[in-house]
Amino acid sequence: MGDRQPQLNGAYYGPSIPPPTRKSHSHGRGGCGCGCLGDCLGCCGCCILSVIFNILITIAVVLGIAALIIWLIFRPNAIKFHVTDAKLTEFTLGADNNLRFNLDLNFTIRNPNRRIGVYYDQIEVRGYYGDQRFGVGNVSPFYQGHKNTTVVGTKLAGQNLIVLSGGDRRDLDEDLKSEIYRIDAKLRLKMRFKFGLIKSWRFKPKIRCDLKVPLSNSNTTSGFKFQTTKCDVDF
């Protein structure tokens, strides 16, 4: 019989044996390659949102460039509003806090632009004393051409219940003595601009006119006459 091999019962000092490897299953999380239905839906949703976001940015840039080009071509100037005449024949606050009033107002509206027309779809004139609105008038809609000045008028008449604060009440007492009344006319507009064949969206500017109006049928000797008043325009 041949020699027997001795049993290896000592320590082994050879190179380390690596652990067995496992097969990994890639689900395509690094890109749009999808390994399962859930990953595919998530990836597609991400791509759709990215496309929509890029489209919105592109639209915003195009609109901004178009607005800039239109402004450079037409160079729009601000519309100007003036109250040229005001006639007050009654402004009486009774003991029941009912204000009786009769006020006629004439406005000039100036469009200084050479290439821009204006559609006035609605003009509402509100009369205020202090912070209390006492009357409302309207102006018929119209179109205003280039480099044009239009004269419009309205009447505020009737009676309305108003409650004046301490300061406004003192102002009214002073106005009664001088027969010159501090009245605010506020205009609420709906207007559009016309650039050639293009019409803009509707704007709603706010116009405020701070007036000092003498009582027309008074016997005052102050000689005060109404002065043409420029209105503040806020777009």
Residue 23 lies in a domain: no
d(CA 123, CA 191): 9
Residue 60 lies in a domain: yes
Q: 3-state DSSP call for residue 139?
A: strand
Segments in 121-227 forming alpha helices (H): 166-178
- Would you say residue 45 has pLDDT above 90? no
- For residues 153 and 193, membership in a common domain is answered with yes
pLDDT at residue number 201? 87
- Torsions phi, psi for 200 (to 5 deg): -80, 170
- For residues 58 and 170, membership in a common domain is answered with no
Residue 4 lies in a domain: no
Q: Which residues contact residue 211 at a Cβ distance below 8 angstroms, ignoring those fewer than 6 apart?
A: 83, 86, 182, 183, 184, 185, 226, 229
Residue 65 lies in a domain: yes
Question: How close are the terminal C-alpha atoms of the chain, in Å?
Answer: 115
How far CA 76 is from CA of 111, 154, 189, 223, in Å, comes to 10, 28, 18, 41
pLDDT at residue number 98? 96
- For residues 61 and 137, membership in a common domain is answered with no
Residue 166 lies in a domain: yes
- Would you say residue 35 has pLDDT above 80? no
- For residues 56 and 85, membership in a common domain is answered with no
- CB under 8 A, 24+ apart: contacts of 120-123: 120/144, 120/189, 120/190, 120/191, 121/190, 121/191, 121/192, 121/202, 122/188, 122/189, 122/190, 123/152, 123/187, 123/188, 123/189
* pLDDT tens digits for range 86-138: 999 999 999 999 999 999 999 999 999 988 999 999 999 999 999 999 999 99
Question: What value does the mean pLDDT of the chain take?
Answer: 84
- For residues 115 and 170, membership in a common domain is answered with yes
Residue type, 127: G
Residue 144 lies in a domain: yes
User: Residue 120: which domain range?
Assistant: 80-234
Q: In the structure, what pLDDT confidence band is assigned to residue 17 with cuts at 50, 70 and 90?
A: low
pLDDT at residue number 47? 82
Q: What percent of the chain has pLDDT over 90?
A: 61
- For residues 175 and 113, membership in a common domain is answered with yes
pLDDT at residue number 191? 95
- For residues 168 and 110, membership in a common domain is answered with yes
Lowest mean pLDDT among 131-135, 207-211, 213-217: 213-217
d(CA 182, CA 137): 18
Residue 197 lies in a domain: yes
pLDDT at residue number 50? 84
The overall pTM is greater than 0.95: no
Tell me which DSSP letter residue 215 carries: B
Residue 64 lies in a domain: yes
- For residues 71 and 110, membership in a common domain is answered with no
* Per-residue tokens: 163: 């409650």
- For residues 57 and 172, membership in a common domain is answered with no
- For residues 60 and 121, membership in a common domain is answered with no
pLDDT at residue number 16? 61
- For residues 61 and 128, membership in a common domain is answered with no
If one counts the domains in the chain, the total is: 2
Three-point CA angle 87, 91, 95, nearest 5°: 175
- Mark which of 32, 61, 76 sits at the end of a domain: 76
- For residues 67 and 172, membership in a common domain is answered with no
Tell me which DSSP letter residue 166 carries: H
> How long a stretch of residues is the chain?
235
94: domain CATH number is 2.60.40
Lowest mean pLDDT among 49-53, 74-78, 168-172: 74-78
Segments in the chain forming alpha helices (H): 37-74, 166-178
pLDDT at residue number 3? 52
Q: 3-state DSSP call for residue 230?
A: strand
